[in-house]
Amino acid sequence: MTGALVARRTSGGLAASRMRRVRPFLFIAPALLVSLGVIAFPLLYSIRVSLYDYTLQTGVARFVGMANYVDALRDPRFQTSWLVTMRIALPALAIEFAAGLGLALSVQTVRGPTRPLVASLLAAPVLVPGAAAAMAYAMMYVERYGVADALLAAVVRRPVDIAWLSSASLAPWSVILVEVWNKTSFVMLFLLAGLAVIPGDVYDAAGVDGATGWGAFRHVTLPLLLPTIVAVLALRLIDLLKMFDIPFLLTGGGPGTATEPVSMYIVETGFKSLRVGLGAAQSWLLVAAVAGFLFCALQLLRSTRGVA
Amino acid sequence: MLAATMLPQGVHGAPSRFEGVTLQVSAIEPSYAYAMRKFADEIQTKYGIRVQFDTVTLEQSFQRDMLEFSGGRASHDIVLFLPSALPDYSRSLEPVVPLAKQYDLTVNVGNDVLPTYRTYYTWDNVAYGVPFDCGGRFLAYNQAAFTRPENRQAFKAKYGYELIPPQTWAQYRDTAEFFATTDWTGRGGTRAGTIEVWRRGLWAWVWWLDRFAAYGGVYFDSQMRPLINSRAGLRALENMLAVKKYLPSDAATSTNPALRALFMRGEAPMFTTWGSTAEIAQDRSASGIVGNISLALIPGVKTSEGVSRRPVFGAGWAAGIPKYGAHKDAAIHALALLTDAAHQTAMDEDPKALMKPCRISSLRDPGYPRKWANYPGYAHQYIDLSLKNGELGMPDLQIPGAVEYITAADLQINLAVTGQKDPRQALDDAATEWTKITDRLGRPQQQRLWSIQNTGLKRLGITYRPELASAP
Amino acid sequence: MKRRKRVAAGLIAAALAGAVGFSLLPIAWVLSTSVKLPRDFYASPPMWIPPHPTFAHYTALFSDYNAGDYYRNTLIVALGNTLLMLVIGIPAAYAVARYRVGGVALPFWMLVQRMLPPVAGLIPLFLIFQRFRFIDTYGGLILAYGAFNLPVAVWMLIGFFREFPEDLQDAAMVDGCSELGAIRRILLPLLAPAIAVVALFLFTFAWNELLFPLILSGTSTKPIMLLFVSLLQSPTGLLFGEAAGAVAISIIPAYSLALFFQRYLVRGLTQGALR
């Protein structure tokens, strides 16, 4: 309709009107070009690279077909990196969601000018780059002397020496703590925005029907909030699957490989061991996994939209 | 002609020869940058060259250099590198002797260099690096801890022999256990029985290699089968695990400087380490144990002939000139100057430079002990041990892909010492990795180059001695 | 009933206070450490307000660790990329929002790109950049950052453009204004706050980026997140004062910009995801 409206208003004949029909494509051309150049083309090139045994050390590339993918899937360290990624991502997601939802609901109960202040203070960590957060916590986690141990020591009145980063079982939780600190506010803000668009009349109507407090939450808020919840969970999960900055600076993947997620192992394969063919194959396996999650999330989102 | 010879600067008499040229030097450690910076003015005056120093960690510099060289680039004109990286760097470095000859310069790679380091930086009989900082490993210990009468009595009572710097790895375990469970300062509040660095990324490997080599281990056999998972390798790991509880809890993840700082604060009485610790420990601004530190050879293994020791050469550094650099001519001038006997001695004698001598001229220079003017006994101890280390040391693996082999083994060792893998499994996995790497890089070539290094090792008296693995 | 409500309110207040404390504690500690004397770093119980604050660490950052270079490089790349993304993103978003160019496929492709792991593009980008000598160049980084910022830019802008009432623009064009003119004189000025939000996000993402410059930058272009890498691995061990100072200066832009754009932040955060 709009196009027709525009076409009717203009003059200039056939050439000019063709120009106007072409214009939207001209508008989109530069972005398309850049997108093809830095995203699409590299990804396709990466498929090609993944089919070769290519190391930067020798510069020699030998066609091996799917061998890199098979090697990657069979590689115990690659498998471990997936386990590590899940081991950090899933608890982090759960905590971020529970805390984020709790905080969003709590903030909503705050009335008046205090609310934006509280929300802003709670949102402070979200603006800190992941790398900076990792640095800050790296200092706090220093054993015996860092502020984490010092604070605990002040509470229990005894020297405290917790192996935050040097225990293979505790180190992943130390990483989770940093992620949670850095990103929970994002979940909170997202849910706050979702809560904000729920019209007040819905609650009034529910109140009329006798539902208050928890009942209202479970039967009114939650269903209406569901699409937002699914969206934010999907966003966070996909981001967590890609994690790199925080483990890289906080532990370097250690102790051993206890905190080495998939992205970090790919970077090591490609740029430290210089085996770019294998690294490309590993990257595509990661892309496939993320794409799979994305697909499921979109399906879920569509179904929850239907419900609401 | 006469005018040219009367000009004070430059080999060919042209002071503005390299005017406007700025050299980028990858100095790795700030202390090396400090050492070379002392002569930056001289280089500028003499050749018109400006020198800039970049201090990036060794892991980063290796990665950066390899990535750049693979694309035919080099962002630095002079790079420092480790001996184990020599085979991989050699492809992209300019042979120093011919380059120097082009300009009537000489580089100090000949007879002045300590014998064991002389061929350490040559590949295929071509010198690609000029020895810059050498040095072996020591057992640094807190003198007071070993001389305190209460400690001596308690130790003798418990273990039945005198409290001395441990000679064997078994004694080292005893000593570490003793110090970890006793109040050895009499003032309470101490932290560990000994300090080691088992961090991932070449550290765990070095501390394991100290033991593996002492137990008679060698990297491969003559058929290029890995020997790292032999009995010697396992004994080495077992000793590490036995000592683990006496180390600071973050020994496997913390950095060398952070752990070294613990030793400097007097929190543990022993530290198996490199010479740089020996230098810092007497510096009042950094150390709390000045005057209290002594050095000994690192522990070994008791044999019929005495104690067999094989401290790792580890962090010897060489300076090289990348083929792809833009100012190779200027670089060789600067390098020749920085590595001649006079300048190297000056750098070696400056305690802040943290440089360990590669050259006989430095070690024998009468001014050298002046570094520790207040502790003359210490100076002689250091010189003697440096010379002995020169005879005993275990050279790094030096075949193509050496860094890859070492990194793979290092990871498995780190997994074992952090309790994430069974020691035998870890070593077996490492050996499997090594076999895979050899196959990937081309077995015939690797085997040929390994046998060359193996011959060199044999000439130094280093052979695989499986019987030592059963020694106490 | 009322009492229960008050107890509940009290609990919520306590929980919120605790959460605020938890959120601010690391930031406060970092700021405090950045001005502490070295001997106070390990004070136990921890020292929050140093009695003798010093700016020596900040000075050291700029003189010994070249923080100024890092800052300058990051500003150039982040600003450059933000500008580029806006310049190519705004027309594209307009075309998609208004003319549905590319149908449903295009926005979906944008969404997929936003979700892609950056590391997947890193290896091929490195190889391509190496071939064309783009490594360690500002232009190269500005382009490379488009890999993650362009989808964000276009996605958010499409959302904002879709909200914009078309009648306003049509009315102008009825009055004889050309399409481009209408865009310039009506659409853009009214959407300026929204575009500012997008700019804030693009700038922040570019500023915070660690992985891409880790591989694609070099001595001339290394951005501020890499300063952390060199401080962490410094031979003198973790330099608490300098590291804390580095963290402090790295969060200044985000916080300053956020202060300016408080109101729009939340909208921007959720824009596009719900549509």
* Greater model confidence, B14 or C258: C258
Q: What is the pTM of this model?
A: 0.88
Distance in Å, alpha carbon of A49 to nearest chain C alpha carbon: 8
Which of A17, A32, A263 would you mutate first to test chain C, the one with the most C CBs within 10 A?
A32
Q: Does A258 contact B418 at a Cβ distance shorter than 8 Å?
A: yes
A57 → closest Cβ in B88, B254, B411: B88
Q: Does B75 contact C235 at a Cβ distance shorter than 8 Å?
A: no
Residues B46 and B29 in one domain: yes
What was the pLDDT predicted at B352? 82
What was the pLDDT predicted at C270? 52
User: Any idea which of B171-180, B255-264, C29-38, C101-110 has the lowest mean pLDDT?
Assistant: C101-110
Q: Please give the average per-residue pLDDT across B173-190, as a whole number.
A: 87
Q: How many interface pairs between A and B have CB atoms less than 8 angstroms apart?
A: 69
In this structure, is residue A210 part of a structural domain? Answer: yes
Q: What residue in B sits closest to C226 (Cα-Cα)?
A: B56
What was the pLDDT predicted at A208? 58
What was the pLDDT predicted at A12? 60
Which residues of chain C lie closer than 8 angstroms to A116, CB-CB? Answer: 262
In this structure, is residue A39 part of a structural domain? Answer: no
What was the pLDDT predicted at B4? 41
Residues B297 and B182 in one domain: yes
Q: How many interface pairs between A and C have CB atoms less than 8 angstroms apart?
A: 275
Which of B66, B249, B422, B428 would you mutate first to test chain A, the one with the most A CBs within 10 A?
B249
Domain that holds residue A155: 67-307
Q: What residue in A sits closest to C90 (Cα-Cα)?
A: A27
C-alpha to C-alpha distance for C10 and B267, rounded to whole angstroms: 48
What was the pLDDT predicted at B258? 83
In this structure, is residue A38 part of a structural domain? Answer: no
Q: What residue in A sits closest to C155 (Cα-Cα)?
A: A31
C13 touches chain B (CB under 8 A): no
What was the pLDDT predicted at C148? 92
Q: Which chains touch C (3 or more CB pairs under 8 A)?
A: A, B
Q: Does B75 contact C234 at a Cβ distance shorter than 8 Å?
A: no
What was the pLDDT predicted at C160? 83
Chain C, window 199-228: residues with a beta carbon less than 8 angstroms from a chain B beta carbon: 215, 218-219
In this structure, is residue B372 part of a structural domain? Answer: no
Distance in Å, alpha carbon of C51 to nearest chain B alpha carbon: 23
Which residues of chain A lie closer than 8 angstroms to C92, CB-CB? Answer: 27-28, 30-32
Q: How many interface pairs between B and C have CB atoms less than 8 angstroms apart?
A: 41
Domain that holds residue B77: 2-134+314-365
C94 pLDDT band, cuts 50/70/90, is confident
Q: Does C27 contact A136 at a Cβ distance shorter than 8 Å?
A: yes
Residues B391 and B299 in one domain: yes
Does the pLDDT at position B11 exceed 60?
A: no
Which residues of chain A lie closer than 8 angstroms to C106, CB-CB? Answer: 28
In this structure, is residue B107 part of a structural domain? Answer: yes
Does the pLDDT at position B5 exceed 60?
A: no
- Give the rounded percent of residues in chain B with a pLDDT score beyond 70: 96
* Greater model confidence, B354 or A206: B354
C3-20 residue pLDDT tens? 877 888 888 889 999 999
Does the pLDDT at position B13 exceed 60?
A: no
C235 → closest Cβ in B30, B54, B64: B30
Does the pLDDT at position C134 exceed 80?
A: yes
What was the pLDDT predicted at B427? 97
* Greater model confidence, B434 or A225: B434
In this structure, is residue A125 part of a structural domain? Answer: yes
Helix axes C56-63, C240-260, angle to 10 degrees: 90
Does the pLDDT at position B189 exceed 80?
A: no
What was the pLDDT predicted at A5? 47
C240-256 residue pLDDT tens? 888 899 999 998 888 88
Q: Does C150 contact A34 at a Cβ distance shorter than 8 Å?
A: yes
A34 → closest Cβ in C88, C210, C240: C88
CATH 1.10.260.40, domain C60-270, yes or no: no
* Greater model confidence, B136 or A81: A81
What was the pLDDT predicted at A3? 47
Query: Residue A290 carries which side chain, given as an amino acid letter?
Result: V
* Greater model confidence, A100 or C111: A100
Q: Please give the average per-residue pLDDT across B106-123, as a whole number.
A: 81
What was the pLDDT predicted at C140? 95
Does the pLDDT at position B198 exceed 60?
A: yes
Does the pLDDT at position C275 exceed 60?
A: no
Distance in Å, alpha carbon of B359 to nearest chain C alpha carbon: 25
In this structure, is residue B177 part of a structural domain? Answer: yes
Residues B92 and B44 in one domain: yes
What was the pLDDT predicted at A15? 67
Q: What residue in A sits closest to B437 (Cα-Cα)?
A: A273
Distance in Å, alpha carbon of B411 to nearest chain A alpha carbon: 6
Which residues of chain B lie closer than 8 angstroms to C215, CB-CB? Answer: 67
Does the pLDDT at position C228 exceed 90?
A: no
C-alpha to C-alpha distance for C95 and C101, rounded to whole angstroms: 6
What was the pLDDT predicted at B80? 93
C-alpha to C-alpha distance for C169 and A35, rounded to whole angstroms: 28
What was the pLDDT predicted at C269? 52
Residues B325 and B461 in one domain: no
Q: What residue in B sits closest to A57 (Cα-Cα)?
A: B70
Q: Does B73 contact C135 at a Cβ distance shorter than 8 Å?
A: yes
Q: What is the ipTM of this complex?
A: 0.86
Does the pLDDT at position C272 exceed 50?
A: no
C31-87 residue pLDDT tens? 998 998 877 777 767 788 888 888 988 998 888 788 888 999 999 999 999 999 999
Does the pLDDT at position C236 exceed 70?
A: no
Residue B395: DSSP 8-state:
P
C130 touches chain B (CB under 8 A): yes
C250 touches chain A (CB under 8 A): yes
What was the pLDDT predicted at C167? 77
Does the pLDDT at position B374 exceed 70?
A: yes
Does the pLDDT at position B319 exceed 50?
A: yes
C-alpha to C-alpha distance for B114 and B395, rounded to whole angstroms: 13
Number of domains chain B contains: 2
Instruction: Give residues with Cβ within 8 angstroms of A258, minimum separation 6.
Output: A84, A168, A169, A171, A172, A251, B418, B420
Residues B267 and B285 in one domain: yes
What was the pLDDT predicted at A78? 96
C-alpha to C-alpha distance for B247 and B272, rounded to whole angstroms: 12
CATH of the domain at B28: 3.40.190.10
A139 → closest Cβ in C33, C92, C215: C33
Low-confidence ranges of chain A (pLDDT < 70): 1-16, 202-216, 306-308
Which of C227, C236, C240, C242 would you mutate first to test chain B, the one with the most B CBs within 10 A?
C236
Residues B205 and B289 in one domain: yes
Chain C, window 153-172: residues with a beta carbon less than 8 angstroms from a chain A beta carbon: 154, 166, 170
C-alpha to C-alpha distance for B160 and A242, rounded to whole angstroms: 57
Residues B180 and B223 in one domain: yes
Does the pLDDT at position B368 exceed 70?
A: yes
Which residues of chain B lie closer than 8 angstroms to A257, CB-CB? Answer: 411, 415, 420
Give the Å distances, CA to CA, from B108 to A284, B36, B103.
50, 16, 15
Number of domains chain A contains: 1
Which residues of chain A lie closer than 8 angstroms to C256, CB-CB? Answer: none
A130 → closest Cβ in C106, C154, C208: C208
In this structure, is residue A173 part of a structural domain? Answer: yes
Q: Please give the average per-residue pLDDT across B226-251, as a whole number.
A: 94
Q: Please give the average per-residue pLDDT across C181-203, as a whole number.
A: 82
Q: How far is CA C133 from the centre of its chain?
A: 27
What DSSP line would sit under chain A, residue for residue?
-HHHHHHHH--SHHHHHHHHHHHHHHHHHHHHHHHIIIIIHHHHHHHHHHTEEEBTTT--EEE-TTHHHHHHHH-HHHHHHHHHHHHHHHHHHHHHHHHHHHHHHHHHH--TTHHHHHHHHHHGGGGS-HHHHHHHHHHHT-TTTSHHHHHHHHHHTS-----TTT-TTTHHHHHHHHHHHHHHHHHHHHHHHHHHTS-HHHHHHHHHTT--HHHHIIIIIHHHHHHHHHHHHHHHHHHHHT--HHHHHHTTT-STTTT--HHHHHHIIIIIS-BHHHHHHHHHHHHHHHHHHHHHHHHHHHHHHHH-
C91 touches chain A (CB under 8 A): yes
* Greater model confidence, A10 or C209: C209
**R_g over Cα of chain A:** 25
Q: What residue in A sits closest to C265 (Cα-Cα)?
A: A189
B63 → closest Cβ in A165, A167, A272: A272
Does the pLDDT at position B6 exceed 60?
A: no
What was the pLDDT predicted at C265? 58
A256 → closest Cβ in B59, B248, B418: B418
What was the pLDDT predicted at B278? 80
What DSSP line would sit under B215-248, residue for residue?
TT--SB-TT--B-TTSHHHHHHHHHHHHHHTTS-
Structure tokens at B56: 């990036």
Q: Does A125 contact C123 at a Cβ distance shorter than 8 Å?
A: no
B275 pLDDT band, cuts 50/70/90, is confident
C237 touches chain B (CB under 8 A): yes
Residues B257 and B115 in one domain: no
C229 touches chain A (CB under 8 A): yes
Residues B155 and B66 in one domain: no
B288 touches chain C (CB under 8 A): no
- Intervals of CATH 1.10.3720.10 along chain C: 60-270
CATH of the domain at A277: 1.10.3720.10
